[in-house]
């Protein structure tokens, strides 16, 4: 009997921490009950027309198989007499209602190219939707259905969102409607490759194909993001999902509703991240800001006096911590606005006034760099850093649009520790914040002596149709 009492007491003691732990866990039931009806399922159809004279169907020579396919798959045999050469591509996504009269937010990629957009509500009603506008740069789209008195999602403030906070996603992963998943905010302001205009919210919420365009809620039941992308090697959730902040999405929505398109500011510059080595080369106390690698001739930046080698530290009073911050700041500025750009130049800061230009609908940086033409000068032997350099001929200078520089013919034996490649053009060198144009091999080799003794030097390099800064280090620093 004593053993039984002791065992019961131990079991009760063990259950107490579990009960306390359970009480500390968030309860999502009320959130889902109140906000679940604001989430919709979106299915799209795109008609893909086949090409005449395409490859033969694999069973063209087998009459028995052809007859079997005709009986069990009528109208689906390609290149068969009387069968239209087209098929329908269908896809699924999610969205959420932002007005009682039927405005819905979703992802641009969900409705991109669709011939028909069908919206299904939680009460099983279905509506054909009209796409009012889509912005591919932020992946936000606004669609409209003809309905009234619809439940509307509560919109929150993504700026107030904190890392570690609980969040909930509702959507249709793989077509499973109104699926609820939960997790925490893993990071804010995340930059993704080729996504310059969105400071993504990263979460570990289970997001899968079909969740795209659905809402991300905080525990107050407010939408603080639109689920947009996942990082996955398998195609399914791996605990890395990314949402568009609702503050950005609302701005895009308002512009799409008013004009059907989005206007963005631009400066007309090429920028790159400021590494520790680059910060040292420009005598900047710490790696920060956006390094200007190129300035378009005649652009608003050119007119404002922004120069290659400037490091932009602030835009309109807002600190540029890393290069990815600048496109978002400029892009969110209305064209025509007058702004102040603070730059770091030759060891000091200066403020420059600029009237923000407008970013074209399509990528407007289509400048082509003329290819190397004419017979190049005889390349020199590799220097002690493994660089084989050549002076461009007059014909090459005209074709490349340069007045000075050296062509990198080869990088041998690993070369100096840098990212230099064959075909790069070295335009200038920066040492202790001072920039010098490179005009001859002798001049460049003299400047290399500091690198050969274990130092470093930053180079302005033309590569293809862009420019970049590269730090050249002594091989001994590897």
Residues annotated as part of the active site: 109, 139, 212
Q: What is the 3-state secondary structure (H, E, C) of 217-269?
A: ECCCCEEEEEEEEECCCCCCCCCCEEEEEHHHHHHHHHHHHHHCCCCCEECCE
Which structure tokens are listed for 302? 């050119």
Which of the 8 DSSP states describes residue 472? E
Classify strands 154-155 and 222-230 as parallel, antiparallel or unpaired.
parallel
Q: How far apart are CA 88 and CA 48, in angstroms?
A: 6
CA angle 447, 450, 455 (to 5 degrees): 130
The H or E element spanning position 397 is: helix 394-400
**Any long-range contacts for 290-293 (C-beta under 8 Å, 24+ apart)?**
290/320, 290/322, 290/323, 290/325, 290/326, 291/323, 291/469, 292/343, 293/269, 293/460, 293/466, 293/467, 293/468, 293/469
Which of the 8 DSSP states describes residue 10? H
Contact predicate 177/130, CB 8 Å: no
The residue length of the chain stands at 478
Q: How far apart are CA 324 and CA 462, in angstroms?
A: 21
Buried b (16+ CB within 10 A) or exposed e, 317-337: eeebeebbbbbbbbbebeeee
Within 10 angstroms of residue 362's Cβ, the number of other Cβ atoms is 7
Classify strands 140-144 and 126-135 as parallel, antiparallel or unpaired.
antiparallel
């Amino acid at each position: 009997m004593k053993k039984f009492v002791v065992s019961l007491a131990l079991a009760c003691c063990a259950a107490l921490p579990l009960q306390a732990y359970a009480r500390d866990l968030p309860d999502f039931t009320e959130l889902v009950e109140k906000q679940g009806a604001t989430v919709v399922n979106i299915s799209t159809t795109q008609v893909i027309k086949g090409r005449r004279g395409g490859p033969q169907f694999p069973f063209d020579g087998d009459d028995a198989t052809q007859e079997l396919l005709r009986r069990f798959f009528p109208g689906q045999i390609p290149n068969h007499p009387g069968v239209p050469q087209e098929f329908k591509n269908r896809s699924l996504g999610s969205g959420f209602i932002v007005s009682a009269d039927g405005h819905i937010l979703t992802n641009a990629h969900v409705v991109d190219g669709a011939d028909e957009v069908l919206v299904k509500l939680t009460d099983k009603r279905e509506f054909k939707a009209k796409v009012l506008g889509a912005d591919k740069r932020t992946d936000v789209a606004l669609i409209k259905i003809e309905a009234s008195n619809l439940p509307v999602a509560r919109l929150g403030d993504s700026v107030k969102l904190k890392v570690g906070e609980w969040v909930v996603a509702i959507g249709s992963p793989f077509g499973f409607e109104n699926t609820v998943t939960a997790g925490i905010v893993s990071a804010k302001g995340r930059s993704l490759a080729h996504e310059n205009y969105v400071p993504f919210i990263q979460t570990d919420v289970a997001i899968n194909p079909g969740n795209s365009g659905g809402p991300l809620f905080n525990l107050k039941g407010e939408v603080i993001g639109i689920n947009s992308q996942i990082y996955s090697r398998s195609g399914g959730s791996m605990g890395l999902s990314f949402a568009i902040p609702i503050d950005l999405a609302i701005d895009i929505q308002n512009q799409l509703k008013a004009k059907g398109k989005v206007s963005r500011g631009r400066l007309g510059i090429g920028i790159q991240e400021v590494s520790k080595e680059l910060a040292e080369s420009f005598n900047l106390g710490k790696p920060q800001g956006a390094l200007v690698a190129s300035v378009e001739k005649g652009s608003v930046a050119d007119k404002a006096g922004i120069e290659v080698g400037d490091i932009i530290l602030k835009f309109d009073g807002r600190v540029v911590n890393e290069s990815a911050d600048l496109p978002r700041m400029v892009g969110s500025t209305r064209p025509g606005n007058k702004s102040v750009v603070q730059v770091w130049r030759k060891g000091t800061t200066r403020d420059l006034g600029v009237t923000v230009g407008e970013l074209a609908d399509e990528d407007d940086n289509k400048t082509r760099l003329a290819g190397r033409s004419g017979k190049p000068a005889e390349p020199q032997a590799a220097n002690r850093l493994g660089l084989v350099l050549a002076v461009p001929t007059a014909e090459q200078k005209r074709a490349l649009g340069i007045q000075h520089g050296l062509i990198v013919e080869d990088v041998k034996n690993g070369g100096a520790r840098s990212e230099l490649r064959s075909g790069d053009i070295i335009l200038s060198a920066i040492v202790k914040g001072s920039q010098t144009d490179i005009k001859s091999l002798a001049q460049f080799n003299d400047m290399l002596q500091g690198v050969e003794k274990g130092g470093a030097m930053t180079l302005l390099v033309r590569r293809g149709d862009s420019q970049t800064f590269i730090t050249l280090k002594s091989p001994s620093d590897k």
